[in-house]
Amino acid sequence: DIDHLNLRVQKELVEWLNWLKADIGFDGWRFDFAKGYSADVAKIYIDRSEPSFAVAEIWTSLAYGGDGKPNLNQDQHRQELVNWVDKVGGKGPATTFDFTTKGILNVAVEGELWRLRGTDGKAPGMIGWWPAKAVTFVDNHDTGSTQHMWPFPSDRVMQGYAYILTHPGTPCIFYDHFFDWGLKEEIDRVLSVRTRHGIHNESKLQIIEADADLYLAEIDGKVIVKLGPRYDVGNLIPGGFKVAAHGNDYAVW
């Protein structure tokens, strides 16, 4: 165990971080198991090393109902993520992985896409509250891969990417999906839409429809994304939009 309250430990870790920056060329940090030490300590490391980007892994359990599925209201879960960023410094480079969005997406793509519209009409994850500080993802080395601790439904992974790559927040692509699953070209097509239209971490999200079999949203008035098996949605798509990417139960205009 590392005693992060020990001043010598803090000093040596800060020196190491600055060495990684100056000599090796790293410019961002990932704080593993960030709930294992206080945000005040993380603030010390960030303030004294000044990375251009920092992201924390704060993985806690969602609130579940008697049916074993996540409750519609996950405010307490995403509040914990927001609190960490607040304490570290909201104006700085600190962000957190949006585990709230990950957990809701896991279930939503299994025929419960209504979950993707919160009670306030916004996205139900951290991206609905503070998208500039939310790093979205479909799976990572813990949840997917060989550890398989909380995997995304494997046959619906591209629905997950269609969501995070078109929505506000900072999307993160999982190495396994990109290089090992044969999804590189499909992910690239959706990613190119984000890049081409300048979708960014604070883009404006308008949710058009969120039913069991259909999620439809418009981002910045430039991009529309559809998830779900419902096929006939032409009447909901404004004129001038053309399909730019599509696959199993998703499309991007």
**Residue closest to 79 by CA, chosen among 40, 34, 114, 128:** 128
Q: Where are the beta strands (DSSP E) in 19-67?
A: 28-31, 53-56
Q: How many CB atoms lie within 10 A of CB 147?
A: 11
Identify whether the C-beta of residue 31 lies closer than 8 Å to the C-beta of residue 42.
Answer: yes
Beta strands 214-219; 205-211: pairing state: antiparallel
Beta strands 53-56; 94-97: pairing state: parallel
The catalytic residues are 32, 57
The Cα angle at residue 36 between residues 201 and 124, in degrees rounded to 5: 35
Q: Residues for the chain: how many in total?
A: 253
CA distance 24 to 91: 26
